Structure 1
Amino acid sequence: MNTTPASAGAPAGGSWEELVTVALLGTERRTLQGQRPGRGAPAALLDAAAVETVRRRAGVRPARAAARPEPAAPDPRPALPPAAARRLATLLADRPGTGGGGRRGTAPDLMELLPQWLALANTHGFAAPPGTLPALLDAARARTDLRPAALAFAGPRALWLARLNPEWRFALRSSSGGAPALPEEPGRIQQLWQEGLFAERVALLSAVRAKDPSAGRELLVATWATERAEDRLMFLDSLRSGLCAEDEAFLERALADRSRNVRATAAELLSALPGSALAARMAARAVSCVAVDHTRGTPLVTVEAPHECDAAMERDGVVPKPPAGRGERSWWLGQLVEAAPLAAWRERFGGRSPEEVVALPVADGWQAELHAAWCRAAVRQRDPGWSRALLGVPSAPEAGGPGAVSLAERAKLLATLGAGERAEWVAGFIGTHGLSEAFQLLGVCAVPWAGGLGRAVVDALDIARDAGSYPWSFSGVMGLAERCLDPAEAGRLEGLTSVPDESERTAPGTGDYWAEAFQRLVTTLRLRATMSAELTAP
């Protein structure tokens, strides 16, 4: 790839915008800079546009001639099968519809299938066709959710291109797998850490941390005292990867940092280490606030929230000032319980299991606050036992567990469970409560959905249709189903694609909408099956 001076084909000082302007006005009214009007002006315009188009497609901004860039590193992975390559071009060429929110019809949404296609291609270890790299990088720039999979598929040639176009520089902060790239040259790590831009240093620290947690921590310790507060916060957050007991001494020192946000992050990380000194201090404070009253017929949990937030509590990450509308004592209690190791409650409650602890009544209206804090602790400490107890059974009349006070919290608790258990719980929830509250819960389930979960979703959609519900009320779930249902379910859904008989309780045209939505679902599932087959073709 080479660049040429602006005078060699493109208008002097001109740009793509200038070319478009001249083309719209016509060469009789306006010509390119440095050119004369006349019969040759249209041809000159087309020549300049051709040169500029090549420059744009090559991923290089117009510049004066310079040394040729080093060739891109070879990509040793096998090439895509021809049908899969054509499919990728189609997916990348698709653009969001411009129908203003109207009916989608029965055609699949290709933009939403691109992430799944990339994941499948990466599973098979294929290399991206070179001609698709600019479009891939543009797609990854526009959608951050695509970046890990897109960069993994694009490979080393995408990094080569990214060095030539500032709009793709985001790719330089990631390796081909979407994880931070680690330099291989001797001494380059120290040099980049000392001299690099902030984004480069964050990526470098994450890369070193992923490979060797101790080396990453030592890198940070060396310059910690001279870093800006906002930079220290970002660097400290990178310690979440590979967090271990050896990080405790450094994090304890960070509790005395002059930045409140840095102190809070250090405290959060330490509380995620059940054996840390901070976790022990928080446990001592939390259990002193909660007890079991055995003087009545039924054991009763009693709560005596803290009366003050002292300096030691602040140092350990307790925020003294509550949000608007929140009481101080309940705010302090929630933070203590959230940061305390969950194992401390077994001893405090006489060896009771999490299910038995959660089932105990709580006096004086403290149950919601106490259970919500246990929910946050279970998520932070990734404790499936406590998550199960707090979720309860999916068929509970209150549409949730004894400790989950919101759908968002239930989704977070579910994320700590295994994929199979997660799908089974959500399927039970849908079977009892329908789809109206299930969207967030479905979002944490593994793709493709397990058979039982998929059947529960389809059955619930069928029930909603028969009940005369508006199909657009379930458009979010239907969109998830298009991306997450097992393609093998397409045959079972054929019977739902016909227009149902409309009853007096259904709005006119509702049946057509439902049939259209199910037809699109079947079409999308079959397209996903075809995509998978194309990637496995010999």
Structure 2
Amino acid sequence: MVTVALLGTDRRTPPGHPTGAGAPTALLDAAAVQTVRRRAGLRPAPAAALPGRAADDTRPPLPAPARSRLAMLLTDRPGTAGGRRGTAPDLMELLPQWLAMANEQGHAAPPELLPALLDAARGRTDLRPQALTFAGPRALWLARLNPDWKFALRSTPGGGTALPALESAADVQRLWEEGLFAERVALLSAVRAHSPAAARELLATTWSTERAEDRLMFLDSLRMGLADADEPFLEQALADRSRNVRATAAELLSALPGSALAARMASRAASCVAVDRTQSAATITVEAPHECDAGMERDGVVAKPPTGRGERSWWLGQLVESTPLGHWTVRLGGRTPEEIVALPVADDWQGELHAAWCRAAVRQRDAVWSRALLGAPASPDAGGPGAVSLSERAKLLGALPGAERAEWVAGFIATHGLSEAFQLLGVCAQPWAGPLGRAVVDALNIARDAGSYPWSFSGVMGLAERCLDPAEAARLEGLTATPDEPEDAAPGAGGYWSEAFQRLVSTLRLRRAMRDELKGT
């Protein structure tokens, strides 16, 4: 029959059937009979065991309107025609916010929507933490049955394996010695959260036999609850045969201002940076290291610089960023951080020195030094280039309280506009505080009045859709109308701006509705 089908019934007839118009039908009939014969003659295989029952999710169910909203967010995918987004909200960008709010309320995911939720998280790694938290234990049950959702097992510490009671030392030790790597990482993190000392002692029992890549992962778990008691273990890790392990141990020790490594780094940095009092105005002088000796390498200094970097400046930066910031007040004449940052630096070393101080302030979470290095948002240097880049300023803002962070960025936007503010807006808490939201809207309004197209501000507009307080929708209503275009305006720019503000308003209203639905109001 296969041969007949391949050659065609005009060239070969089915067995036992004459040539003619009925040959194709006879071939199909013969195939149908053969199929029935094969199925009837198949011996049944033993039935496979049914999967175990999924764990119960004891969280309260979603209110009905919120469940309908989630279904809409997971199924609707508004496209864009001709590059124009139109006035409809971007539902895919609202899904992360919906998940965050649902997790804050502590709701359980509707079982019937779990497959669509896992499919969405499969395609977007940024969704996974919130999606898996919302999906709960049933997501792991499903992931064990569908290879497409295996990411849920990889994303869950220990692959969803239940950990032993931390009070049972024997069970903990057994899993630590016999468990899979993911289970051991999850166990170490859980023990560290429960008892930092117990986690450190557990790690020490097998440290010398672990692989280098495993030692690096285990060592990274000590960031949680890092304290002076960890110093002896970390000092020992400085002699590790893996360069990455040594570097991580040095980074952790430098975050302990009272550690011996921090003192050694401060001593080295002190020989490189000083105040020259022979001039009329105090000036910082820099003499970068001339070599990277074995002691520096043991303390985590990387000897070989990246391409394009000089060796001496590379070594200097590593010494300064690993030095406790409080050292500089004593070293530089009792000056405050603001006074130190304001001092001129000789021989064009200011950029390198200030960048290293920025890294130290971020690593040590020092708000005082972060404020000093940021400076006033209205200063000319704040808009760049200046001694501190915008990316470094964004990191420094992370060390400040949320309200102060928003106030600084609002002042920056009021002075320098939106063209350089995107990185800074990304580190501000959501929803944006009132002054920051108003500063962004005012700057967008100024850009609209200038008559240019809104495309260069699409990133900021997208952030505004996600981060503006939904209460701002009423105030923005007046900006949705198409403005009168000045003579030098780009053709049609007013219409594009009107669409952008209409989309912003509709998105804010939808976010408010989402919040009310989740609260059941």
Residue range with higher mean Cα deviation, 137-146 or 494-503? 137-146
CA distance in 2, matches of 1:196, 1:179: 12
Greater Cα offset, 414-423 or 504-513 = 504-513
Matched, 1:183 2:183: no
Percent sequence identity over aligned pairs: 75
* TM-score scaled by length of structure 2: 0.88
Correspondence for 1:80: 62
Provide closer, same or farther for how the CA distance between residues 503 and 308 of structure 1 changes in structure 2, counting only shifts above 3 A. Answer: same
Deviation at 1:182, TM superposition (A): 5.9
For the residue of structure 2 that corresponds to 1:398, the secondary structure is helix
* 2:55 maps to amino acid: A
- Alignment gaps of 5+ in structure 2: 1-23, 40-44
Which of 429, 438, 447 does residue 446 from structure 1 map onto? 429
Amino acid of the residue matched to residue 151 of structure 2? F
Q: Could you tell which deviates more after superposition, 86-95 or 263-272?
A: 86-95
The one-letter code sitting in structure 2 at the alignment partner of 1:216 is: A
Judging changes above 3 Å, is the alpha-carbon distance between structure 1 residues 485 and 421 closer, same or farther for their aligned structure 2 residues? same
From 397, 400, 419, give the equivalent of 1:436. Answer: 419
1:251 matched to 2:234? The reply is yes
SS of 2:32's equivalent in the other structure is: coil
Equivalent residue for 1:66?
48
C-alpha contact (below 8 Å) 2:238/2:299 kept by paired residues: yes
2:361 is matched with which residue?
378
- Largest Rg, 1 or 2: 2
**CA shift for structure 1 position 149:** 1.5
**What is the TM-score normalised by the length of structure 1?**
0.85
- Rounded to whole Å, the distance in 2 between the matches of 1:482 and 1:488 is 12
Match for residue 137 of structure 1 among 118, 129, 139: 118
Provide the C-alpha distance between the structure 2 equivalents of 1:231 and 1:239, rounded to a whole number of angstroms: 13
Q: 1:196: Cα distance to partner?
A: 3.4
Match of 2:196 in 1: 213
Aligned to 2:215: 232
From the superposition, tell whether residues 387 and 323 of structure 1 become closer, same or farther in structure 2 (CA, over 3 Å): same
Residue pair 1:305, 1:330 contacting (<8 A) in 2 also: yes
Q: Give, in angstroms, the shift of residue 371 of structure 1.
A: 0.7
- 1:398 match: 381
Greater mean deviation of Cα atoms: 182-191 or 135-144: 182-191
User: How many Å apart are 1:396 and its aligned residue?
Assistant: 0.8
- The answer for the alignment partner of 2:263 in structure 1 is 280
Which deviates further from its counterpart, 293-302 or 479-488?
Answer: 293-302
Where does residue 90 of structure 2 map in the other structure? 109
Q: Are the equivalent residues in 1 in contact too, given 2:375–2:382 (CA < 8 A)?
A: no
**Are the structure 2 counterparts of residues 379 and 180 from structure 1 closer, same or farther at C-alpha, using a change threshold of 3 Å?**
farther
Distance 2:171 2:129 in 1: 24
Question: Is the alpha carbon distance of 1:350 and 1:241 closer, same or farther for their aligned partners in structure 2, counting shifts above 3 Å?
Answer: same
User: Which of 32, 37, 49 is equivalent to 1:37?
Assistant: 32
Aligned to 1:291, what secondary structure does the other structure show?
strand
**Cross-structure match for 1:20:** none
Letter of the 1:365 partner, please give it: D
Q: 1:264 aligns with which of 224, 243, 247?
A: 247
CA distance in 1, matches of 2:356, 2:244: 20
- Match for residue 340 of structure 1 among 317, 323, 331: 323
Q: Secondary structure at the match of 1:37?
A: helix
Q: Indicate the RMSD between aligned Cα atoms, in angstroms.
A: 2.7
- Change in 2 beyond 3 A, CA 1:506/1:401: closer
Displacement of 1:188: 4.8
Deviation for aligned residue 1:456: 0.3
Matched AA of 2:515: S
What is the CA-CA distance between 1:184 and the residue it aligns to?
3.1
Deviation at 1:174, TM superposition (A): 5.3
Query: What residue number does 1:349 align with?
Result: 332
CA distance 1:398–1:300, change in 2 (3 Å): same
SS of equivalent residue, structure 1 residue 302: strand
Q: Displacement, 1:455? A: 0.3
Partners of 1:527 and 1:157 in 2: how far apart? 29
Q: Which runs of 5+ in 1 are unaligned?
A: 1-27, 45-62
Equivalent residue, structure 2, for 1:536: 519
Distance 1:293 1:402, change over 3 A: farther
Task: Report deviation, 1:209.
Answer: 2.2
Which residue in the other structure is 1:458 paired with? 441
- The answer to whether the 8 A contact 1:209-1:241 is kept is yes
Worse overlay, 346-355 or 373-382: 346-355
What CA deviation, in whole Å up to 9, does each residue of 1:513-533 have, x standing for no partner? 110000000000000011011
Whole-angstrom CA distance in 2 between matches of 1:75 and 1:257: 45
Between the aligned partners of 1:338 and 1:64, the Cα distance in structure 2 is: 66
Q: Deviations over 1:332-356 (max 9, x none)?
A: 1111000000010111112111001
1:399 aligns to what SS in structure 2? helix
Tell whether 2:104 aligns with 1:123: yes
Q: Whole-Å Cα distance in 1 between the matches of residues 237 and 46 of structure 2?
A: 49
Letter in 2 for 1:314: E
**Residues 247, 181 of structure 1: CA spacing in aligned structure 2 closer, same or farther, 3 A cutoff?**
farther
The answer as to whether partners of 2:454 and 2:497 remain within 8 angstroms in 1 is yes
The letter of the residue matching 1:456 is A
8 Å CA contact 1:375–1:413 kept in 2: the answer is yes
| Aligned amino acid, residue 331 of structure 2 | R
**Where does residue 157 of structure 1 map in the other structure?**
138
In structure 2, the partner of 1:299 is: 282
Partner amino acid for 1:461?
A: L
2:240 & 2:50 partners in 1: Cα distance?
A: 49
